A and B are shown apart, each in its own frame.
Chain A
Amino acid sequence: MQTPNRLKPFYENLAFERDDNTMIVNFGPQHPSAHGQLRLILELDGEQVVKATPDVGYLHRGMEKMAENMIYNEFLPTTDRMDYIAATSNNYGYALAVERLLGIEDKVPRRAKVIRTMLLELNRIISHLFWLATHALDVGAMSIFLYCFREREFAMDLMEEYCGARLTHSAVRIGGVPLDLAPGWIEKLRAFITKLPNDIADYEGLLDQNRIWKMRLEHVGVISAEKAIDWGCSGPTLRGSGVAWDIRKEEPYELYDELEFKVPVSDTNDSYGRYKLYMQEMRESIKIIEQLIPMYSKTEPKLMADVPEYISAPKESLMTDNFALMQHFVLVTQGMRPPVGEVYVATESPKGELGFYINSQGEPYPHRIKLRAPSFWHTSVLQEMLVGTYIADVVTIIGNLNIVFGEIDR
């Protein structure tokens, strides 16, 4: 029996068993399968979940408030830490939102667009490989974790050669990209995507018709299309319920309207369908990158938009031209002053619809930035999805929904 004192207080504040024979289990903020810091308070009747209450906020770092105290360019590395598995998709969403606010979307040079789209699809592959690795680890297939991380390391080597960081990229700037591709990067990318379909086929061969995998994933985590839309789901979670909504196709940005790719949709509404979706999406990303590679050489070497009011000049003219240096100085110390107004831009991150709402009052610091993270809504849908499932399925469902806590709590 614990005797509470000042330094060892008694923290148990949840009843263990109640009168109506339901047991309350705390799936605590620190748990190996919780994918971060999810606290689920489950009320169990035997092994079935009667009520589930997710408790989030254990990784709330105050990013939206930070944004009100920094200039627009300064906030870009902070967006990296939202969905830290595919960091460039956050950076790009933010950069696109600011570009639309400033009205310079069509001034982004073509080479920058090609590089950005390549990085976005590479990040999609990285994120889906990570999803498969952790989901399989939770369900019990531990060797898939090691295989997927091996492939992911090759992709992260590519990102590291481009921007210097494996995890928190900041590879995109407002108005373009900071760096051109290194010589030989495209060949390495080509080698990577030539090898990857064989590996995906390996994983599918191991898991697709695997009796245990099918038993654990089929008819688990069922959500109908209307409920999914109502709860704010997007991305593969929504497409797994039969709704064919992909922002890359419906509201195309960057070069997606020139590229040919299919958007897989599954109508089985369960986790197995979503698993098949993720594998198919990886293949589509490979197809997209294959179409982008020949586009690169046809572009002229311009990387940042030419808008002196908001964006600094490229480094060559900064070092030689005095006015460029003066303008760059002002933009870096004071910050650029965008027009007064608000904008909401949604892009298709690997997890779903990632939206940025920016309200600017003409100051160099944004008045309000609201980060719309898909995982926030996918976690709230757990309140509905987990009722009636067994406790072993809880882990499968959490893993299958692809939630990452940097986004939820910001």
Chain B
Amino acid sequence: MRAYQDRKNAQAKVYYKDRFYVSPQLPKEEVDSDEVFAKDLATISKKAEVKEAYIQRGQLVIILENRHDIVAVAKLLKEKLTYTQLSEMSANDFLADRGEFEVFYQFLSMEKRKRLRVKYSIKEDQAVDSLYDIYKSADWAEREMYDMFGIVANEHPNLKRILMPDDWSGHPLRKSYPLQGDEDAQWYEIDTIFGKDYREVVGPEIRDTKRIDPKDTENFARIGKEVPRGANPKDFDENYDDFQEEGGVPLITRFTKKNQKTLTDRK
């Protein structure tokens, strides 16, 4: 029987599971413990519906109820609350657990020296609104999110693949995409350069790191005494391991292992 492959989550799973171990949660502090964050949260909750807000490891995390509020929140953050830089944005794939993506935005305020994270969840076929008009750094970040997850950003000026080739199929960072790529991925370079008929000529990729060929009798390292592949080491003389042939090369300085110098001190 062929081994069971979980199509929803094709990533490696831990072999040993501790059934009785419950992972602790990272502590979530109350927003009121920090005045700057409390004021920011108050301003934001007037504009958008906030599902949950807490401080985690020194940064305020705001979870929005509705994905369309992000444009209004971003405008507010940039103009009124001095969060002038969008450091990063991307998505987390929780399709296997909950059936949704969780998109996060990381903001930085240089004046207040504070960092803020805004998150919300979307379903697989929903799109997000692009923040390009407010923060230009969202340009490439949203392209990368589209490339890796397939999440479309509405009204983005140039939503094309950025890290993968333009004709790549599949969205690599989804959990359902295997680490070593599906069939299209594994033959991509052979198909583009030589054509599908050359798949048999070149052969499949060797992805097994522990592969040992029991019939292989020639792949030994022979460090320092390398001979061409397929040759019998006995055909080469014992001084073959020197840098140049026995007898030297005309007009070139003879460099052997014996007359090499190692400098101990440098000037």
Contact = CB atoms under 8 A, between A and B. Distances in A.
> Within 8 Å by CB, do A and B touch in the complex?
yes
Contacts of B56: 341-343
Nearest to B197: A6
Interface residues on B, range: 35 or more
B179 A66 contact: yes
The 9 closest A-B pairs by CB, nearest first: A341-B26, A362-B23, A232-B137, A57-B163, A69-B12, A380-B140, A60-B163, A372-B88, A339-B24
Interface residues on A, range: 35 or more
B94 to A, nearest CB: 8
B121 interface: no
Contacts, number: 129
B173 interface: yes
A357 B140 contact: no
A250 interface: yes
Given A243-B110, A363-B14, A368 B93 contact: yes
A367 interface: yes
Nearest to B88: A372
A62 interface: yes
Given A6-B195, A65-B179, A380-B140, A340 B23 contact: yes
Interface string A15-52: 00000000000000000000000000000000000000
B65 interface: no
Contacts of A367: 92
Nearest to B91: A368
A377 B141 CA distance: 9
Which of A154, A229, A363, A367 has most chain B Cβ within 10 Å? A229
Interface of A is mostly: mixed
B26 A343 contact: yes
Given A65-B173, A368-B93, A370-B90, A344 B179 contact: no
Interface of B: 11-12, 14-16, 18, 21, 23-26, 56-57, 59, 84-88, 90, 92-93, 104, 106, 110, 113, 115, 117, 135-137, 139-140, 148, 161-165, 172-173, 175, 177, 179, 194-195, 266
Contacts of A282: none
B88 A62 contact: no
Nearest to A356: B88
B23 A7 contact: no
A245 interface: yes
